[in-house]
Amino acid sequence: MPRPAIADVPNRLLAALPSRERPRLLDRFESVDLDFGQCLLQPGDRINDVYFPRGSYISLILPQKHGASLEVGLVGNEGMWSVDVSLGADTSQLRAVVQGAGSALRMKANLFRQELDASAALRGLIGRYTVVILQQLAQTAVCMHSHFLEGRLARWLLMTQDRAHSGSFHLTHEYLAYMLGVRRVGVTVAASALQHRKLIAYRRGNIEILNRPGLEQVACDCYAADQLSYGQLRSGPN
């Protein structure tokens, strides 16, 4: 499936706002292009901007004092970062790195706080989305300790495909190790198992999803839980 042009990828969170409020809010944003590997925030950094991805997607990484860092979340055009702003936070607790290049809408954090104060609809929407993000973070913690490596990898590949809007994308061994909280050899074993079952093709970091229904069957039940959370967000009040 070809990746749609950037102009064709809306931010679904903003699209869920009432039509009467959306144009005014969109006027406060600027459109930016995010580059692969670009670091938007480090832990302890002051949050100066919020991002609503359109064609891009952002990896949320928890650095570890001892051992490898761990990816705990992924934000694409279904959401925003940094949601911490809506909770009154001024600094980031996570590293935010662009994993998929593309466009995003950006607004200064102080302006976004003003918009939250002015719009009950925006506050309600971001509040519901915050619950979804917290559930995703909690689900990842459960996933790390409860599920087999192959199922966890299938979950993250599905999540990445959902945000890349394509059946093909690039993931380095280093990033796959972030996703799973394992060493590279573990990545090789899990990816080889999925490839042997003809669910994916994986070569030099280039991944192609060959059989999505089959990959969904292999994925741990955390992926279904994630989808349920986003479904509840979309069906919530406008």
Query: In whole angstroms, how far apart are CA 170 and each of 9, 182, 228?
Result: 19, 19, 27
Q: What would the mean pLDDT of 196-224 be, rounded to a whole number? A: 89
Give the number of C-alpha atoms closer than 13 A to the C-alpha of residue 123, restricted to the C-beta side: 10
DSSP reduced 3-state for 49: strand
What is the predicted pLDDT for the residue at 4?
Answer: 40
CA atoms within 13 A on the CB side of 237: 6
Confirm if 201 and 157 have CB atoms less than 8 A apart.
no
pLDDT grade, residue 101 (50/70/90)? Answer: very high
Hey, what CATH topology would domain 148-219 get? Answer: Arc Repressor Mutant, subunit A (1.10.10)
In tens, the pLDDT along 54-89 reads 989 998 888 776 666 777 888 999 999 988 898 888
Query: What are the residue boundaries of the structural domains of the chain, listed by start?
Result: 6-144, 148-219
137 vs 107 pLDDT, higher one: 107
Q: Answer whether residue 198 shows pLDDT above 90.
A: yes
Output 155 or 145, whichever has higher pLDDT.
Answer: 155
| Alpha carbon distance 60, 96 (integer Å) | 5
What is the side-by-side order of every strand in the sheet holding 206-209?
Answer: 168-170, 206-209, 200-203
CA distance 186 to 91: 33
**Quick one: pLDDT at residue 57?**
93
Dihedral angle sign, alpha carbons of residues 7, 12, 13, 18: positive
Q: What is the mean pLDDT of the chain?
A: 84
Judge: domain 6-144, CATH 2.60.120.10. yes
First-to-last C-alpha distance (Å) of the chain: 31
Q: What is the pLDDT of residues 39-55, one digit of tens each?
A: 999 999 999 999 999 98
